[in-house]
Amino acid sequence: MPLSSYDTERIAYIKTLVEQDISRHYTIEELSLAAALGKTKLKAGFRLLYKKGIYTHLRHLRMQQAAAWLTGTDKPLKEIARLTGFKHYHNFLAAFTKYYGYTPGQARKK
C-alpha cells in the first residue's frame, strides 16, 4: 500500500499521540478520526512505517516504562499497573510476566 506524505505525517502524529500518555487506551475508531484516515489505512500504514501494530507498540512502551519504574522507584506495584494503563493489577501482572518471562515482583528484586 503506497502512503502519501500526508498519510505518513498523520500516522506519525498518531504514534506521538499514543506515546504522550501510555496509560490511555484509544480505540482504532478514535485514532482513525484523530488521524483523518480510514482504519485500514491507519493500521496498515503504522505497521508499514514502524514494523509493528499500534497496540504492539503501545504494549512495548508500557512494559519498558513499567520495568523502569520497578527497578528505579519504590512505587507500589498497583500504582505502576495503573500508570501503565491497566485497570486491574492481575491484568498487569499477566501482561508483564508474558512480556518478560518473570513477574513484576521478581523484576523489582533484580
On whether both 47 and 65 belong to a single domain, the answer is no
**pTM summary value:** 0.90
- Write phi, then psi, for 6 (nearest 5 degrees): -65, -45
Identify whether residues 24 and 46 lie together within a single domain: yes
Residues 46 and 64 in one domain: no
Q: In one letter, which amino acid is 76?
A: P
Q: Model confidence over 47-86: pLDDT tens digits?
A: 999 999 999 999 999 999 999 999 999 999 999 999 999 9
Number of domains in the chain: 2
Which cell numbers in the block locate residue 75?
A: 512505587
Residue 110 has pLDDT above 80, yes or no: no
User: Same domain, yes or no, for 70 and 99?
Assistant: yes
What are the cell numbers at 87? 485497570
- Residues 41, 24 within the same domain: yes
Per-residue confidence band for 102, with pLDDT thresholds at 50, 70 and 90: very high
Amino acid letter, 89: Y
Domain boundary among 51, 70, 89: 51
Segments forming the whole domain that contains residue 19:
5-51
